[in-house]
Amino acid sequence: MELPVIDLAPYLAIADAGNRGSESTKRVSGLTELCHEVSRLLKETGALLVKDPRCTAEDNDRFIDMMEKYFEKPAEFKRLQERPFLHYQVGVTPEGVEVPRSLVDKEMQEKLRAMPKEHQPLTPKGPDPKWRYMWRVGPRPSKTRFQELNSEPVIPEGFPEWKETMDSWGYKMISAIEAVAEMAAIGFGLPKDAFTSLMKQGPHLLAPTGSDLKRYGQEGTVFAGYHYDLNFLTIHGRSRFPGLNIWLRTGEKIEVKVPIGCLLIQTGKQIEWLTAGECTAGMHEVVVTKRTINAIKLASEQNRSLWRVSSTLFAHIASDAVLKPLGHFAESPLASKYPSICTGEFVEQELSVINLKGNKGES
């Protein structure tokens, strides 16, 4: 199965005309159906490929070029940007720190053993052998109970373009998430700002990963063990090396192929909470596959970097907002499984489960 691509341009055209709203959307031919398609795909697959004219392939390349240059630096240089006392929520997270949930969650391990062999994830041998850089995107709340989740960014020396490149790509991807969140809300029969109003001043994180394929380029290497993301929605630009597998709600495993100029969006645990399980947090892993090996050979021949960079952004609900089923989802038979909880408390609970109180957060 290949995920369909949703073109956001028709919806964005309404926004440009100052008409972005559920009532005006309904009057535009085909747009209501497009919103229903977005909500259907998020519900049934937990993933969505989108084309946003504001996020170009050139933007993605510029970002990846800079991150390749950073991750190629020596480990001792990169560790200067490490902030473990802030849960690794800003700065760099070295390889061997992030622990995949499938390694520590006994209930999840039982579910994995029950899966058909062809759909089982690869078993990680230990913590993920990848680096990650966390960069806060967007305004912070002036008052918050969760200051460590809203900390000042860390800028490495020798990268004068760092802030502008990170902010530019981060804001563009947040804009794409906001459009998808509005479309999903309309598709689910909620007010169009049901999700985006809760995202305001959220601790959104641009969180690119760097995996050294020169050291860890053997087929079957697990860079990110089977897990879900704890945030609202996750968005990725196209990586130069394939290897991302996702699981559909049916339990089927598929290798994602992101077309040039497109973005991949995945559901996180916070949207599962807000929809009382109508959407479920999408499971995924990043591994070295035969397609990765082929890409490594080509990059070597062309003398390109062998660091696999993912341009990942985690969009969050605001730390001080309350997570609870919204609108008609509050009447769902499953709503009792999703009791009201402050989002910041929810995030800290999730981090503690995967050994990230002093660590980062999944993906």
Q: What length is written for the chain? A: 363
Alpha carbons 224 and 87: distance in angstroms, whole number: 18
Q: What are phi and psi of 231, to 5 degrees?
A: -90, -160
Q: How confident is the prediction along the chain (363 residues), in pLDDT tens digits per residue? A: 789 999 999 999 886 666 545 455 555 667 889 999 999 999 999 999 999 999 999 999 999 999 999 999 999 999 999 998 887 878 999 999 888 878 877 888 888 889 999 999 998 888 899 999 999 998 888 888 887 655 678 999 999 999 999 999 999 999 999 999 999 999 999 999 999 999 999 989 999 999 999 999 999 999 998 989 999 999 999 999 999 999 998 889 999 999 999 999 999 999 999 999 999 999 999 999 999 999 999 999 999 999 999 999 999 999 999 999 999 999 999 999 999 999 999 998 887 776 544 333 444
Please answer whether residues 299 and 263 qualify as being in contact, where contact means their C-beta atoms are separated by less than 8 angstroms. Answer: no
In the structure encoding, which two tokens stand for residue 210, read together?
Answer: 């760097």
- Going by C-alpha positions, the residue among 69, 87, 85, 88 that lies closest to residue 77 is 69
Alpha helices of 207-277 — where are they, by DSSP H? 213-216, 269-274
Task: Confirm if 211 and 307 have CB atoms less than 8 A apart.
Answer: yes
Measured CA to CA, the distance from residue 356 to residue 19 in angstroms comes to 42
Is the Cβ–Cβ distance between 250 and 297 less than 8 Å?
Answer: no
- β-strands 5-7, 47-51: how paired? parallel
The residue to which tokens 């089927």 are assigned: 252
Spatial distance between the Cα atoms of 139 and 155, rounded to a whole number of angstroms: 17
pLDDT for residue 244? 94
CA atoms within 13 A on the CB side of 56: 3
Angstrom CA distances, 280 to 58, 124, 250, stand at: 32, 23, 11
- Residue 123: count of CB within 10 angstroms of its CB: 14
Q: What's residue 28's pLDDT? A: 65
Q: Is the distance from CB of 279 to CB of 187 less than 8 angstroms? A: no
For residue 332, give the DSSP letter.
S
Would you say 237 and 60 are in contact if contact means Cβ atoms under 8 Å apart?
yes
Distance CA 64, CA 29 (A): 38
- Both tokens of 106, joined, read 């006994």
**Domain 5-354 belongs in CATH node 2.60.120.330:** yes
